Amino acid sequence: MGKLRREATIKILAATLIAAIALAAPEATAQAISLRNLPQPGAFEVVNGGAEASLSTKVQVQRLFEGRWENEVTDLELVRTCNPPMTLDCITLGPGETLRPPPWNGLACASQCAASCRGNMSLPPGTFRFVISACSGDTSIYGPAFDMAASP
């Protein structure tokens, strides 16, 4: 009887531990990944201070408007280079890896790499921030605010 009780207790403890790890995983990803602005407005880097992480290539640009962060529509992506263009939904950063995508130029389309865009527009000057997310979509990482002047 004692052996069965001990096995049941071990199974319960193991299930509890697995659940705790699963719940902590998104928070661990958020703590391990940092998004930093670089000196040039619109330039940023993503630093992985933890284990391998899979991030969505879509970067959300938000503008501070009347005290609230609002999403802007851009095609900004986590890409290593403009050539060749990236077609993946996710990008993997290894432990200790830093990614410096081409900077955002303030445009809604062709916002970091040269491209022909119909109806492209420059977003008005303002205070912005970048938001990236884990590929699973369960974790968002918010970058610090920065000011962006009108694009050329």
- Does residue 100 lie in a domain region? yes
- Does residue 7 lie in a domain region? no
Tokens of 129: 């921030």
Task: State which residues form the domain around 99.
Answer: 32-148
CA distance 34 to 64: 20
- Does residue 17 lie in a domain region? no
Q: Indicate the number of domains in the chain.
A: 1
Hey, what amino acid is at 114? A
- Does residue 39 lie in a domain region? yes
- Does residue 24 lie in a domain region? no
- Does residue 83 lie in a domain region? yes
- Does residue 18 lie in a domain region? no
**pLDDT over 70 (residue 26):** no
Q: pLDDT tens for residues 74-116? A: 999 999 888 866 678 999 999 999 999 999 999 988 898 888 7
- Does residue 12 lie in a domain region? no
Question: For residues 96-134, b (16+ Cβ closer than 10 Å) or e, as one string?
Answer: eeebebbebbbbbeebbbeeeeeeeeebeebebbbbbbb
Question: Which distant-in-sequence residues (6+ apart) come within 8 Å of 130 by Cβ?
Answer: 35, 44, 59, 60, 61, 62, 76, 104, 142, 143
Q: Which pTM value belongs to this model?
A: 0.77
> For position 50, which CATH number holds?
2.60.40
